Chains A and B, each alone.
Chain A
Amino acid sequence: MDIGSSPEEMRFREECREWLHANVPAEKRPLDAADAIDFDKAWQRRLFDAGWAGINWPTDYGGRGLSIVQQVIWLEEYAKAHAPWIGANFVGINHGGPTLILNASEEQKAYHLPRILKGEAIWCQGFSEPGAGSDLAGIKTRGRIEGDELVVNGSKIWTSFAHVADWQELVLRTEEGSLRHKGLSWVICDIHAPGITVRPIRKMSGLTEFAEVFYDDVRIPLANVVGGLGNGWKVAMSTLSFERGTGFIADQVKQSQEIEELIAKARANGMIKDDRIADQLAQMRAEVAAVRAMTYRNISEVVRTGQPGPEASVIRLFTSELGQRLERMAVLLMGEDIIDFAYGSDDAVGDYLRGFAATIAGGTAQIQRDIIGERLLGLPKSR
């Protein structure tokens, strides 16, 4: 065990820092998805052109083929430099692309991966349905096979960035009468295809970042199935493991900035003299430190064994709840200024309201606890 970096890693960190210092845009990323889309695409393109997209993706598809430790270093420096949130590219970069790398055919990879890295193709995730949220195996959207096509009918909900996306990772039931985890397929869906209607939904923060998606006799070529017809559950689980696995690396640095800002603010307005507040701040500073330690431990595990330990859900659960504690502290320190929040603004209250997503999206805190109890501790399955 050691926390030091090799000379190569130190050089790489320096490179990241220099580039980010010179290139992080001065203007802020617009908040609402529809306003931000051009910004998100342009920024992704700039990252790609300079070699910072897909640091540990295979070189054949436009990545750099570097180590996961270098990927972590990049994300750390990225957050430290206050570089813009990846925004609409989140799905493609963080789980759509990685799922393709693991499960897709050569043609599928060759077509889609470079487009994701260049910011030319925005992806969204069509898993959840009105009747299939936590119970993802309850998926009802169906794809009837007709010749070499699937004819799709049904609807999806909470699809982040659907209204600005080009492609969708769509999980549907391709075997009529199949139950639960069986008979599902993971397909690449052209979200501009005829028969698709997208209706944006407003969040309590005032932003419009996700949408409802309706499918009415939408035709998708069978060639777009990833990982084989009927194997959708397995492919979807790999998507979820990427979704739950990568986000926290950037969170870790963001949270360490947040806690320092909170301590500084509490010192400035004198609230740190309240012992309960001081104690909570102290506690959260310790917890933020532990998030980094957990991240390093998990990454070390990947490097040593080739796969993450069963602790991804532990990190996901802990960081999501810690993030919410930090956001609650930030509004506590604001006092009655919280009242002045205007719909859609970008401040501590906006972060606080948006932050409710952390213990819902990608599997709720309750579902993560089930996973920890069952997979880590071996308790009997409840579902």
Chain B
Amino acid sequence: MDLTPNDEQIALQTATADWCSDHMPLVGARSRSAGLWQQLDTMGWTGMTAPEMGLDHATETLLFAELGRFLAPVALLSTAVAARWTGAAGKAALALPAQEHVRILDGVEASRALGAFGDGLACFPLAGQLSSTSSLDQSTPLARIVCPAEIEPVDDPRALLHLQLLTAAYAVGCADAARDMAADYAKLRQQFDRPIGWFQALKHLCSDMAVRAAVARSQLYYAACALDADDIDAAFHIAAAKRLADQAALDNGRANIQVHGGIGMTDEAHPHLCLKRAHLLQFIVPAETAALLAA
């Protein structure tokens, strides 16, 4: 048993974080350049989960948590899962089926979409260019299409678990980002002649953010290893990771705004970016109560 990243994994993790902070800073998430996907593709981030790359799920979660920390495009999730389970390359948008239509997230220049339909994962081609508008999460373009007539199910049930796991990793990164933003601000901002982080009311808000992020990250690692080990409880552990990560991202998102005070709820400041991303992620393969209570 070893739930700490090894040296090689840490090196990959650091390289990912470095690349992100240089090319995809969180502060730019509301207006990402049109060429970003191309850059991600050139650097190999879009294809890293293809079978021939040989990354295990444990390593993937480390990297996706870093990408998630910088609010990377959500199509990386669907593209990664498609690369692993359908063998297809190229951008796959993320599909969220609703009653009468399907929301297509991050579908710009995507030729296909992938999402959870019923209790399995499915893919379908996208016809032509979609006209996307902005969504609650300004880093994620949104389009709506009528339900496609033909969808191709991905046979392996692990594919859906994979999407749930990577989304949980994104949420853990999002929770981390909010925590760090709050702690940095609490050290800097002064009131009553001292940094606001000196006050326990604020310190404890921040400590609770640290606890939520640590709890979710631990479960994420365990879940990834359970999937790698084909553990019979893998589905439960991934659902648990998703539940805790979603909650950490949302609660940390809210707390971060509180820590920032008035500036925290302005458009020009960045805390709302994490909160809005958290709201989006909670709808991607949510952890159902029934899955968590299953025997």
The tally of residues in A whose CB lies under 8 Å from a CB in B reads 48
B110 → chain A, closest Cβ, in Å? 32
Q: How far is the CB of B8 from chain A (nearest CB, A)?
A: 11
Interface members, chain B 196-220 (any A CB < 8 Å): 197-200, 203-204, 206-208, 210-211, 214-216, 218-219
Check A300 against B3 for contact (C-beta < 8 Å). yes
Contact indicator A289/B236 (Cβ below 8 Å): yes
Contacts of A366 in B (CB 8 A): 200, 204
CA distance A290 to B236 in the complex (A): 12
Which of A5, A282, A290, A368 contacts B216 (CB under 8 A)?
A290
Question: Are A2's CB and B225's CB within 8 A?
Answer: yes
B293 touches A278 (CB 8 A): yes
**Residues on A with beta carbons closer than 8 Å to the beta carbon of B187:** 378-380
Distance, CA A281 to CA B293, complexed state (A): 8
A382–chain B nearest beta-carbon distance, Å: 6
A302 and chain B: residue at smallest CB distance = B4
Q: Is B194 an interface residue (CB 8 A)?
A: yes
* Cross-chain contact A1 with B225 (CB below 8 angstroms): yes
A232: shortest Cβ distance to chain B, in Å? 27
Is the C-beta of A370 less than 8 angstroms from some C-beta in chain B?
Answer: yes
Q: Report the Cα distance A9→B208, complex, angstroms.
A: 35
Interface string of A345-383 (1 = CB under 8 A from B): 000000000000000000000101110111011111110
* B214–A300 touching, CB < 8 Å: no
* Given A289-B219, A377-B183: A1 touches B214 (CB 8 Å cut-off): no
**B198 lies within 8 A of A1 (CB):** no
Q: Is B287 an interface residue (CB 8 A)?
A: yes
- Among A115-123, A197-205, A310-318, the stretch that binds chain B is A310-318
**Contact flag A282-B243 (CB < 8 Å), given A1-B2, A289-B236:** yes
B58 within 8 A of A: yes
The residues of A that contact B244 with a CB separation of less than 8 Å are 286-287, 290
Q: Which of B58, B183, B237 contacts A2 (CB 8 A)?
A: B58
Q: Which residue of A lies closest to B187 (CB)?
A: A379
For A286, give its contact among B1, B2, B58, B243 (CB under 8 Å).
B243
Q: A318 near B211 (CB under 8 angstroms)?
A: yes
12 A-B pairs besides A282-B243, A379-B203 with CB distance below 8 A are A1-B3, A263-B293, A282-B292, A283-B243, A289-B236, A293-B218, A299-B1, A314-B214, A317-B211, A369-B207, A373-B207, A377-B210
Could you give 7 example pairs across A and B, Cβ below 8 Å? A2-B1, A289-B236, A318-B211, A372-B210, A377-B183, A377-B210, A379-B197
Across the A-B interface, give the 4 residue pairs with the lowest CB-CB distance, nearest first.
A286-B240, A293-B222, A379-B197, A282-B292
